[in-house]
Amino acid sequence: MILYSSPREYKHTSRYGKYRQLVDNLDSYVETFNQSIIRPSEQDIYHTVLREQENRLDIIANIYYGDPSFFWVIALANELVDPFVVTTGSILRIPAITSLYTLGGVLRRE
């Protein structure tokens, strides 16, 4: 089972400072992507997962964004470590598509 360890405190600037550390039994790894934060907004929608949508963020992403490849946005916004563990009845925050492209948004290119 893989767990997140508590964040490390670096006494100097490190290129890994923004990454979380994963621990699997005796081995530890550093995440390979920079986890962005998707801040809540007033335009966000909340979705209750139905039985046919259980463990299928791609279906939910297709409903709200018209693109199943945006499943990772929903996982990131809801801090889901494993997007294949989403049970029936879970309430998910669906970020407004416009908030993803605004300043500080995860899809904005500087």
Q: How far is CA 2 from CA 88, 91, 100, in A?
A: 23, 24, 29
Predicted TM-score of the model (pTM) = 0.65
Of residues 22 and 41, more confidence is placed in 41
pLDDT digits (tens, 9 = 90+) for 33-87: 556 778 888 999 999 999 999 999 999 999 999 999 889 899 989 988 778 889 9
pLDDT at site 63: 96
Q: What residues does CATH 3.10.350 cover in the chain?
A: 45-101
Integer Cα distance of 10 and 66 in angstroms? 41
* CATH T-level fold of 45-101: Membrane-bound Lytic Murein Transglycosylase D; Chain A (3.10.350)
Confidence band (pLDDT; 50, 70, 90) for 88? very high
Following DSSP, what letter does each residue of 64-96 receive, concatenated?
HHS-GGGHHHHHHHTT-S-TT---TT-EEEE--
Cβ proximity of 59 and 53 under 8 Å: yes
